[in-house]
């Protein structure tokens, strides 16, 4: 009597790091600001420095969205897909 091979383990889900999007945006804005400062030495960066705490607000918002809203969205999406697949 032959035994069936054990089932393959499920493929690991890709991990999304929280803060990736926000950090990417921060790096783009910082690069643009540095380039603008090099091209125009009279540019005042005080407004940029005053708005820098918004980076923390954006990171916190992204964490809250990933932790609370995305699981709800994916649960509803899976339920919708399951109902559409039924004959």
Does the structure show a pLDDT above 70 at 1? no
pLDDT of residue 13: 73
Does the structure show a pLDDT above 80 at 14? no
Does the structure show a pLDDT above 90 at 7? no
Return the ∠ at Cα 17 (arms to 15 and 21), rounded to 5°. Answer: 130
Average pLDDT over residues 50-67: 86
What predicted TM-score, i.e. pTM, was given to this entire model? 0.55
3-state secondary structure 9-55: CCCCCCCCCCCHHHHHHHHHHHHHHHHHHHHCCCCCCHHHHHCCCHH
- Tell me the per-residue pLDDT of 34-58, one tens digit each, with 9 for 90 and over: 899 899 888 888 888 888 898 889 8
């Amino acid at each position: 009597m032959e035994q069936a091979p054990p089932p393959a383990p499920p493929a690991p889900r890709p991990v999304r790091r929280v803060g990736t999007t926000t950090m990417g945006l921060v790096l783009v804005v910082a690069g643009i600001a540095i380039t603008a400062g090099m091209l125009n030495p009279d540019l005042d960066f005080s407004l940029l420095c005053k708005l820098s705490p918004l980076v923390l607000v954006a990171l916190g918002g992204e964490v809250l969205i990933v932790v609370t809203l995305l699981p709800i969205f994916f649960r509803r999406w899976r339920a919708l897909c399951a109902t559409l697949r039924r004959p």
